[in-house]
Structure 1
Amino acid sequence: MTYAEGHPVRLIAGRLALDFLNTADWAPDGTVLHEKIAGLADLDVWVRAVGLSAAARPSSIDVVHRYRRDLRRLFRTGTGLGSATLQARLRDVDIAGACSLDDLARQPVLGLVALSALSVLSDRRERDRIKTCPGVDCGWMFIDETRNRRRKWCLMETCGNRAKAARHYRRISAKTETA
């Protein structure tokens, strides 16, 4: 699946809430460098990609962007999105009425994201494994599920390879300058 601009939908984080945060590329200061959900059609693409094809979506993309920004701040710093906001999103989810996974997939998408966020943030073992990719203009977040907790990059084939190539270029350049 691809967004309207042709970028592939990448689900690398391991949790719905973090994959939601990764629908933008982020600067270190928390500003969006590249928006992947520019409109509600892009949100629909992402919702289908995560398997929530019948999920109810908000009527405004601004609501989505604001919620994502605040939720990212909460994951990064522990502040920014009050528990009242998470609880308000969770009130929209009727898990008791969901008898099957198909029923759950029809819940409001931001409510399901809130449920995922609450699950991750309330489990210290998961919270301690949240990492942010150090790649240039990336800022994606993921759960490091490796045994030794040494995963560094969101994806090795993108950010990891770019960093390795840049390091190699610097080493080669330094050698040619000293020769």
Structure 2
Amino acid sequence: MEEIFKRMSVRSYEDTPVEDEKIEKLLRAAMAAPSDGNQQPWEFYVVRDRRVLEGLAQCSPYANCARNAPVAIVACYSEKKLRFKSFADIDMSAAVENILLEAVHLGLGAVWLGVSPIRMRMQFVKRLMGIPEELQPFAIIPFGYAKNVKDPRLKEDRFDPTRIHYL
């Protein structure tokens, strides 16, 4: 559970490649996520191509950090695999969170850049990457070895007992 409390959004990365073994572990973590009816709608693109990373950085006003990341994962869901379409975003959120937590465990920094449900962003990513029509981009997760990261012990404690209700 330590990774839950250490996790933070990291937008600055060292100019150091991320090992293939670590990328595979991130993807294994993503695919271990729960999904509604076990539909597992996810498909992932691993992006190392500098031109594509620079393009992804233009997806939204908040995506500039993708430009300097050594690698990013673009998480998509397959409409063909959806038995419960209204739960696709929930399934994908669980998969992305697993990636973020595994990144901490592996000594990497990562950030979740939202793509879905904003149609303009989804279409931008599809066109940039040539993603097939049946796949829908959900999120971009740039990651790498963190540069200039705050000490996780200084992270704000978000626990708020006034938001807990017992019946």
Q: Same fold (TM over 0.5)?
A: no
Higher RCO structure, 1 or 2 (CA under 8 Å, sep 6+): 2
Structure (1/2) with the larger strand percentage: 2
Structure (1/2) with the larger helix percentage: 1
Q: Calculate the TM-score normalised by the size of structure 2.
A: 0.30
